[in-house]
DNA sequence: AGATCAGCTTGACACTGTCAACCTGCCGCG
DNA sequence: CGCGGCAGGTTGACAGTGTCAAGCTGATCT
């Protein structure tokens, strides 16, 4: 099952660790190479420069993201509403605990988001949310999942789910309340 | 009225131009200094390093952002629903046409978002949206503006409003439809 | 056995942010 | 009036970065 060169995997893991420890600024090619025990130019044989490494890490992040959504859904019971709430909670928890990966997945400008390597896990994530929204559709060509995804993503990106909400907001409302309000339409 | 040193203003304008032309990677201290016609170390006398310049540009971006929302609202007539739609459309248009500034305002990790320089315009932006949401509140302590802001921001950040939507989506739904759906609750 | 080549190293280059030292003209004050 | 201080600009240097070119090396295939 190990088809990918071991160094490539080691560099991805080193990059994830650097990102978690020192934020996006600490994730450099040379540091990743140093942590993997190779010379500074070795990564060039496995990634197309820094953007390549970041994109590979983003792809890996989408994998664990989809898995997080899946387990959050499965752990929320059988009620459709509870399942959708669980998925959104998983989304917010992932964004808060893996802020670096989250930033890489969605907003880091160096990542090539058209890379096919992102496709499988990204599509799976979308399908998980889409499927959970289906019981709430009012008519067949409903696009409720876009509303939910936009809202939960905006809620996470704006920082409502972190300990430091934007300044105009002393106490941000809980996302679950917003979701219930949206589903009541 | 000109209380700020002229070079500071020139550097901010140069930075905005660099950002618009070459994206976030092109916005460097040295290039901004070069374009302003000063030496590479001159910016240090007006900003606390690169994060300082980026934060100042973000503050400037919030100014024009608030102004954009305001004119979008005023140009949408008197109907509360039309006004809210106009504001959201202004939000999405700003995000699409000033992607660099938008990224700086909300997601660039180098920007110090607790800088008080961001406060006035950011608070004004929030108040504009909050005020436009008030007619739709069902009970006094409603937080509808958080729902709307999260949704429109997520919609913009996920790229639905750009010519290249995320891959699972061939034809993203129009945001105005999502907003109507939310308001129907 | 010998050619091939992926994978890694070394070395160099341009570019970046940042710091220290220095210059310079202006402004306030003795 | 003279002069000290200093905001604001310069030059020069340094470490760190991404990226490229050249070379080495060991396994693999013919």
Confidence (pLDDT) at B164: 65
Task: Report yes or no: B62 and B105 within 8 Å, Cβ to Cβ.
Answer: yes
Question: How many angstroms separate the CA atoms of B60 and B56, rounded?
Answer: 6
- Please, which positions of strand D sit below 7 A from a protein CB? 7-13, 16-22
How many other C-beta atoms lie within 10 A of the C-beta of residue B115? 14
- Residue B99 within any structural domain of the chain: yes
Contact list, B155 vs chain A (CB under 8 Å): 146, 150, 154
Which chain C nucleotides are covered by protein, judged by CB under 7 A? 6-12, 15-21
Q: Do the chains contact at B158 and A160, CB–CB below 8 Å?
A: no
Tokens of B29: 């201290």
Compute the nearest-CA separation of A42 from chain B (Å): 24
Residue among B183, B142, B146, B185 at smallest CA distance from A159: B146
Both A42 and A63 in one domain: the answer is: no
Domain ranges, residue A42 = 1-46
Q: B133-150 pLDDT, tens per residue?
A: 999 988 877 889 899 999
In a domain, B114, yes or no: yes
- Do the domain assignments include residue B53? no
Do B69 and B118 lie in one domain? The reply is yes
Question: Are B107 and B168 contained in the same domain?
Answer: yes
Res B3: pLDDT: 62
In a domain, A52, yes or no: no
pLDDT at B157 exceeding the cut of 60: yes
Residue B11: which CATH number? 1.10.10
pLDDT of A79 above 60: yes
Tens-digit pLDDT profile for residues A85-124: 999 999 999 999 999 999 999 999 999 999 999 999 999 9
Do A153 and A118 sit in the same domain of this protein? yes
The residue with tokens 């060169």 is A5
User: Which band of pLDDT confidence, cut at 50, 70 and 90, is reported for residue A164?
Assistant: low
Any atom of strand D under 7 A from CB of A50? yes
Neighbour tally for A174: CB within 10 Å: 13
Interface of A with B (CB under 8 A): 23-25, 103, 106-107, 109-110, 113-114, 119, 122-123, 126-127, 143-144, 146-147, 149-155, 157-158, 160, 164, 166-169, 172-173, 177-178, 181-185
Distance of CA B161 to the CA centre of its chain: 14
Residue A59 zone, left/alpha/beta (φ > 0; ψ -120 to 50; rest):
alpha
Assess whether B77 and B11 both reside in one domain: no
Q: Supply the pLDDT for residue A160.
A: 75
Determine how many CB atoms are found less than 10 A away from the CB of residue B153: 24
Residue B51 within a domain: no
Predicted confidence at residue A88, as pLDDT, reads 95
In a domain, B151, yes or no: yes
Instruction: Output the domain CATH number for residue B113.
Output: 1.10.357.10
- pLDDT tens per residue across span A54-66: 999 999 999 999 9
> Does residue B44 reach within 7 angstroms of strand C, measured from its CB?
yes
A143 pLDDT higher than 90: no
State what percent of residues in chain A have pLDDT above 90: 77
Tell me the CA end-to-end span of chain B in Å, nearest whole number.
Answer: 48
Count of domains for chain A = 2
Question: Which of B62-66, B137-141, B155-159 is predicted with the least confidence, judged by mean pLDDT?
Answer: B137-141
Residue A33, min C-alpha distance to chain B (Å): 22
* A109 found inside a domain: yes
Examine the domain organization and report whether A93 and A148 are in the same domain: yes
CB contact under 8 A, B167 and A119: yes
Whether residue A93 is found in the same domain as residue A142? yes
A96, A156: one domain: yes
Evaluate if residue B2 carries a pLDDT over 60: no
Which pLDDT band, with edges at 50, 70 and 90, does B4 fall under?
confident
Nearest alpha carbon to residue A61 among A13, A133, A110, A10: A13
pLDDT of residue B61: 98
pLDDT at B39 over 80: yes
Q: Are A95 and A163 in contact (CB under 8 A)?
A: no
Compute the half-sphere exposure of residue A133: CA atoms within 13 Å on the CB side of its CA.
23
Q: Are residues A103 and A19 in the same domain?
A: no
A184, pLDDT greater than 80: no
Q: Is there a domain that residue A179 lies in?
A: yes
Q: How many residues does chain A have?
A: 185
Mean pLDDT (chain A) is 91
Q: Kindly list the distances between the CA atom of residue A95 and the CA atoms of A31, A184, B145, in Å, as whole numbers in the listed order.
A: 25, 26, 21
pLDDT at B180: 80
Same domain, B70 and B147: yes
* Residue among A116, A174, A123 nearest A145 (CA): A123
Chain B residues in contact with A181 by the CB 8 A cut-off are 144, 147, 182, 185
Q: What is the pLDDT of residues B68-125, one digit of tens each?
A: 999 999 999 999 999 999 999 999 999 999 999 999 999 999 999 999 999 999 999 9
Per-residue tokens: B36: 């302003």
Round to whole Å and give the CA distance between A73 and B58. 38
Residue A130 above 70 pLDDT?
Answer: yes
CB–CB of A73/A83 below 8 Å?
yes
Q: Which residue has the higher pLDDT, A144 or B71?
A: B71
CB atoms A150 and B158 under 8 Å? yes
Distance CA A147, CA B181 (A): 9
Lowest mean pLDDT among A35-44, A157-166, B34-43: A157-166
Whether CB of A30 is under 7 Å from strand C: the answer is: no
Chain B residues with CB under 8 Å of a chain A CB are: 23-25, 103, 106-107, 109-110, 113-114, 119, 122-123, 126-127, 143-144, 146-147, 149-155, 157-158, 160, 164, 166-169, 172-173, 177-178, 181-185
Identify the pLDDT of residue B127.
95
Which residue shows structure tokens 């994830």? Answer: A16
């Amino acid at each position: 099952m190990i088809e990918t060169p071991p160094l490539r995997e080691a560099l991805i893991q080193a990059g994830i660790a650097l990102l978690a420890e020192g934020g996006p600024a600490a994730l450099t090619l040379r540091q990743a190479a140093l942590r993997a025990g190779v010379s500074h130019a070795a990564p060039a044989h496995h990634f197309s420069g820094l953007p390549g490494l970041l994109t590979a890490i983003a792809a890996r992040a989408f994998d664990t993201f989809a898995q997080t959504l899946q387990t959050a859904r499965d752990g929320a019971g059988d009620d459709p509403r509870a399942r959708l709430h669980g998925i959104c909670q998983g989304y917010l928890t992932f964004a808060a605990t893996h802020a670096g990966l989250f930033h890489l997945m969605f907003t880091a400008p160096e990542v090539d988001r058209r890379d096919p390597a992102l496709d499988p896990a990204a599509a799976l994530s979308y399908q998980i949310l889409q499927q959970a929204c289906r019981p709430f559709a009012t008519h067949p060509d409903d696009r409720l999942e876009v509303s939910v995804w936009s809202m939960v993503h905006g809620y996470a990106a704006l920082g409502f789910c972190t300990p430091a909400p934007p300044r105009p907001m002393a106490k941000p409302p809980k996302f679950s309340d917003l979701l219930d309000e949206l589903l009541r339409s």
